[in-house]
Structures are given as C-alpha cells and as structure tokens.
Amino acid sequence: MFLEIMMLFFGICLVIGQTVVFVLTFVWTLPNTLIGLFTGFFLTFGRPKWKYGCWIFASGKGISKYIKNHALAITFGYVVICWEPKTSKDKRVLVHEKHHVSQYKILGPFFLPIYAFLLILSKGSQGTDHPLERGAYEKMDEYVEGHAVVKKDVLYDVLHAALGFLLAISTLIYLVSFF
C-alpha cells in the first residue's frame, strides 16, 4: 500500500511539475511568439496551422513575395513563417525551423539579441558559421524521409521531467510545512 501511494505521489508530482514547466516555457517564449503572430497575421494575411508543436503560416501573401527569393522561412518563438506555401510541406525545412523553436524555448527573450550578436561574429552568415544555425542544419541533414519531424530529444525530456519533479516536490514540501 505504501509503495502504491508513493508511486501515485510521484506520478502526480511529475504531471504537476511538467505542466508548470510547460506554462513557464510558453510565457518565457511569449514575446517572440507574439512577434511571430503579428508578422504572420498582419504582414502575410494568413491564418496559422498548429502542427508539430508550432504555428505555421504559409499564405504566400503580403510581404511573402518580397522575401521568398531570399529566404525559405523564419521562426519567432512558437511561430514558423514559411514564405511560400510549398515550403510548409518540406519536412527538412520544418525540422530546421523546429530546432529554432527549441532554441527559443531555452533562450526566450534573449534569442534575438544573441542571434544578432552571433550574426556579427559570423560576418553576416546565416549558414553553418552561425552557432545557432549549425545545430539546425545538422538536424536538417540528419532528417530521413518518412521519419517524424519532431524527434524525441532525450536530454531535453530528462531535464524537463527532472525540473518538473523538483518544482512539484518543493511546492508540496512548502505546502506541507504549513501543517
């Protein structure tokens, strides 16, 4: 009986903690997500589709036609803007942009200043010379047709679970200390 109660307690802690981490990540990424939604809604006259854990705009309208010859897509927080509708079907591009979404989740509001700073160091290159692009291009090269776009990131999941568990446990200890 004791073991069952402990297991249940552990499970509840994990679910609460992961929910808290999810909400915190969402809030931490929100300023950039709002930039993405603003750009998507008002500058490409599009409606986003929620897929692979992000909002994807791909109307090809508005400012898209001025940018599509220079870039395939751009990511702000949880928002991926594809400058041509067909790009949103290209899984290799999506794998690349999904990696940027993960970077936004960690760096939050610091992503854009850090990206800009590193852009100066890489002499304006948005290729593999740029440290934040390197990982995204590696993920793109690793992608094999038919595989899932969102691959399980073991390290991220373990950290997510551990942080969630710590948060839940400390909250519960804090609450219990009142009695």
Binding residues for Zn ion, per CB under 5 A?
133, 136
How far apart are alpha carbons 93 and 77 in whole angstroms?
16
CB–CB of 9/16 below 8 Å?
A: no
In terms of CB distance, is 25 or 102 closer to Zn ion? Answer: 102
> Measuring CA to CA, which residue among 21, 34, 56, 164 is closest to residue 109?
34
In terms of CB distance, is 33 or 103 closer to Zn ion? Answer: 103
- Structure-derived torsion over alpha carbons of residues 110, 82, 152, 126, reported in degrees to the nearest 10: -50
Q: What's the closest the beta carbon of residue 64 comes to Zn ion, in angstroms?
A: 17
In terms of CB distance, is 134 or 160 closer to Zn ion? Answer: 134
Q: What's the closest the beta carbon of residue 137 comes to Zn ion, in angstroms?
A: 7
Q: What's the closest the beta carbon of residue 103 comes to Zn ion, in angstroms?
A: 9
Q: Which residue is nearest to Zn ion (CB)?
A: 136
How far apart are alpha carbons 54 and 37 in whole angstroms?
11
Long-range contacts of 141-148 (CB under 8 A, 24+ apart): 142/95, 143/91, 143/92, 143/95, 145/91
In terms of CB distance, is 84 or 133 closer to Zn ion? Answer: 133
